[in-house]
Structure 1
Amino acid sequence: MRRLGKTRRTVRNTRGGGRVAAAVCGAALAVLTALPAQAHTQRPAAPRWDLKDTGAAAVRFRGLAAVDRDTAWVAGSQGAVLRTADGGESWRDVSPPGAADLQFRDIEAFDGRRAVALAIGEGEASRVYRTEDGGKTWTEAFRNTDSRAFYDCMTFFDRRHGLAMSDPVDGKFRILSTSDAGRSWKVLPDQGMPAALAGEAGFAASGQCLVAAGAKDVWLATGGAARARVLHSSDRGLTWTATDAPIPAGDPARGVFALAFRDRAHGLAVGGDYRADQQSPQAAATTGDGGRTWRTAATPPPAYRSGVAWLPHSRTAALAVGPTGTDLTTDSGRTWRTLDTGSYDTVDCTPDLGCWAAGEQGRVARLKS
């Protein structure tokens, strides 16, 4: 699990005029929400992923931070970090020096110059790097020195305050906190953290096992135990409550892999069993009360999904991605239908509808309608 195991989410800026962005969003959302049209009605062209050439076919990108339609960061295996500023037409390798042995699984970007990247692994393999100049230089902001800890995901509430989470240490999930935009980190006390279940951990599959919405609310997704759970904190990680999720668990390869919240109340959970030869029924769930209760999707995605994101300016539309395809919901996660069968691990959208996805073999794509 730990080898697998951002909304997040990333603090985003948009560029360009508000009227242009609104027009782009309105047109694209109209296409998405019109998809369930009756057979006798002419359907609009379905949105599709426009695959970009990153030149990094040997890298698997599980970390993704979309800033806008033009700017995005991806982070992955072999210590690789790439950045684009032209909609994916070209990519700059901005990998931290000396990091080739690291596995980056999450990256959070404030804009095209400032980003924070999380490397995962046992002990000192778990690290946090930070850049303020578009990746020209990096500073190692945190290195884990506890051999029992294994950090999976990271999220930011705003430009200064963020959290990272580790699999349980001494029977409880460990939370790391920053209040200076990732320059320094400290371990939070665990008195307010419920005890972990036997075998419970997070999945470092998409950077979305720890996500935030608003100034103080954050959710943590788990698997591997007898039950999958979602933990919620309303005070930036000091105290937590745990709720069972209906996504099947009971095995180290099963559970909730990713979360997305469009506000403090409405959230989506996706997951399943990441093994290719295993079925993943009930691979999605929804909540309308901030995660206190979860309901299984009536028509879930057909297979394991590792990433999920709400479409901006929509209260009902979202995308879920995984190794076998991309699915769309237009009814807040109650039903899903497949749009694409390409392999992606993570997905992220911006207010100007710059939806991006990333995954294996250097695959990065932007949504095109």
Structure 2
Amino acid sequence: MGGKILLLQSRDGGRSWQPLEAPAPEEGEAFFAASNASIAMCGTQQAWIGTGGGAIRVLHTPDAGRSWQLQYPPMLRISEAAGIYALHFASAKKGVAVGGAYDKPELGRLAALYTTNGGRRWRLSEEPPRGYRCGLALLPGTATYISVGTTGTDLSRDGGKRWQPLNTENLNSIRFAPAGRRGWAVGAKGAIFLLEY
């Protein structure tokens, strides 16, 4: 907005919000909201924000928004709808990002990334999901991720390095309960799926 990234922070549980100074956006850069998962946090200080469109970047703050580091993952800009759609960090070092191109959903080789050093270096998954993915969740207490998208669901048991197919359901978002063994995914036409593990 006004040539700047609008980024707000609350320190009182959402009762009030204040703007943060964010890095300058690049031409055509976008923040995708398909799964409400393009911002990942670890603890109270660190956060990562994935972008796409005109530039595919990860904005990382180690200090609750006081300063920012720019990360450039190896995901190719193959269309205006390409980029990072969801991120999750299991720890301050280990994270996974998924995305690809919404308008080219069959291109899976560029749809997933992982890092083991907080995003200083991102790597493409060695065995990627089968296509564009917009939702991501970590099974609590494990290194197992599930990613969802318009062409199906994939699972990684090794922190995002290798993915294997689970189903072909058109899903948009997925979350697991912090405790317990249940998760929920939502998809096309108002579908809600319950996962038990």
TM score, norm. by length of structure 2: 0.93
Contact 1:269 1:285 in 2 (8 A): yes
Measure the CA separation in 2 of the matches of 1:348 and 1:306. Answer: 12
For 1:304-343, what aligned pairs fall within 5 Å after superposition?
304-314=132-142, 316-343=143-170
Partner of 2:47: 218
CA RMSD across the alignment: 1.5
Out of 93, 104, 118, the residue aligned to residue 265 of structure 1 is 93
Measure the CA separation in 1 of the matches of 2:25 and 2:79. Answer: 15
The amino acid of 2:37's aligned partner reads Q
SS of residue paired to 2:67 = coil
Measure the CA separation in 1 of the matches of 2:104 and 2:59. Answer: 27
For each residue in 1:192-238, what CA deviation from the matched residue of structure 2 results, as whole angstroms up to 9, or x when unmatched? x332221111101100111211111111000012x411110011122
Gap runs ≥5 in structure 2:
none
Identity of aligned residues (%): 38
In the TM superposition, what is the alpha-carbon distance from 1:329 to its structure 2 partner?
A: 0.4
In the TM superposition, what is the alpha-carbon distance from 1:180 to its structure 2 partner?
A: 1.5
| Bigger Rg over Cα | 1
Measure the CA separation in 2 of the matches of 1:277 and 1:337. Answer: 17
Contact 1:284 1:297 in 2 (8 A): yes
The answer to whether the aligner puts 1:297 opposite 2:129 as a matched pair is: no
Out of 16, 26, 38, the residue aligned to residue 197 of structure 1 is 26
In the TM superposition, what is the alpha-carbon distance from 1:354 to its structure 2 partner?
A: 1.8
Partner of 2:9: 177
The amino acid of 2:26's aligned partner reads L
Q: Which runs of 4+ in 1 moved over 2 A?
A: 276-281
Out of 186, 191, 195, the residue aligned to residue 18 of structure 2 is 186
The structure showing larger relative contact order (alpha-carbon pairs under 8 Å, at least 6 residues apart) is: 1
In the TM superposition, what is the alpha-carbon distance from 1:368 to its structure 2 partner?
A: 3.0
Contact 2:181 2:196 in 1 (8 A): no
Measure the CA separation in 2 of the matches of 1:358 and 1:247. Answer: 26
Partner of 1:35: none
Gap runs ≥5 in structure 1:
1-147, 149-168
Partner of 2:84: 256
- Residues matched between the structures, number: 196
For each residue in 1:6-40, what CA deviation from the matched residue of structure 2 results, as whole angstroms up to 9, or x when unmatched? xxxxxxxxxxxxxxxxxxxxxxxxxxxxxxxxxxx
